[in-house]
């Protein structure tokens, strides 16, 4: 499926091909080396003062760990995400007073972005899910209290969107869109 975006300037192939599918090949088994490569990309992401405020919990399809992560997915995510080859739970270090840290969320976002690009370089696709029940995942995976579960990333090989019907199918085949640069660049020339 061609999901090539319309851009104002050329993008690197990895970014041009990247999109967030929901139709994953339920027969694909992710290679340990590919998973390790994706995690290394996250590990080497930049972070303020090299604090590396992220932690990754890896759930490969077919394991009890995977079932625990699936139980913590919300709504429609429970219907499609379990077919992905793996899911990575991203937890983020809280401030000393136990509150969320915007800086740490930003840094963890950089880690997830690099993992996404690394996955794409391996011809694997990823989909970040905020539609989760963090407390369920936190408890079932025994994530330490000084971290908060923030997002789950599904990773795998895509399959035909024909696995879906109705609105889910339409969303899967819809073209990729973004706001125009003129709308998101506040100052300076886009």
Decide: 175 and 110 in contact? Cβ < 8 Å.
no
Query: What confidence tens digit (pLDDT) does each residue in 22-51 have?
Result: 999 999 999 999 999 999 999 999 999 999
Query: What confidence tens digit (pLDDT) does each residue in 111-163 have?
Result: 999 999 999 999 999 999 999 999 999 999 999 999 999 999 999 999 999 99
SS3 11: coil
What is the structure's pLDDT at 2? 77
* DSSP code per residue over 40-107: HHHHTS--GGG---EEEEEEETTSHHHHHHHHTB-TTHHHHGGGSSEEEEEEEEPPTTS---HHHHHH
pTM (whole model) above 0.85: yes
149: left (phi over 0), alpha (psi -120 to 50) or beta: beta
Q: How confident is the model at residue 70 (pLDDT cuts 50, 70, 90)?
A: very high
Decide: 70 and 82 in contact? Cβ < 8 Å.
yes
CA distance 181 to 178: 9
Decide: 143 and 76 in contact? Cβ < 8 Å.
no
Residues 6+ apart with CB under 8 A from 89: 56, 57, 58, 59, 69, 137, 141, 143, 149, 151, 152
Q: For the chain, what are the domain ranges? A: 25-160
Average pLDDT, the chain: 96
Decide: 39 and 94 in contact? Cβ < 8 Å.
no
According to CATH, the superfamily of the domain at 25-160 is NADH Oxidase (3.40.109.10)
């Amino acid at each position: 499926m061609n999901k090539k975006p319309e851009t104002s300037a050329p993008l690197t192939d990895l970014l041009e091909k990247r999109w967030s599918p929901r139709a994953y090949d339920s027969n694909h088994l992710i290679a340990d080396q590919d998973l390790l490569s994706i995690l290394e990309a996250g590990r080497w992401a930049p972070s303020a003062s090299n604090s590396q405020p992220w932690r990754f919990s890896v759930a490969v399809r077919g394991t009890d760990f995977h079932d625990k992560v699936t139980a913590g997915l919300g709504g429609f995510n429970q219907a499609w995400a379990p077919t992905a080859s793996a899911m990575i739970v991203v937890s983020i270090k809280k401030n000393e007073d136990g509150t969320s840290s915007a800086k740490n969320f930003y840094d963890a976002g950089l880690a997830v972005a690099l993992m996404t690009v690394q996955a794409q370089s391996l011809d694997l696709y990823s989909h970040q899910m905020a539609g989760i029940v963090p407390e369920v995942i936190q408890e079932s995976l025994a994530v330490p209290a000084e971290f908060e579960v923030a997002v789950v990333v599904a990773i795998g090989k895509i399959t035909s969107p024909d696995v879906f019907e109705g609105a889910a199918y339409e969303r899967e085949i819809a073209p990729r869109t973004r706001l125009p640069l003129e709308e998101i660049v506040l100052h300076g020339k886009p």
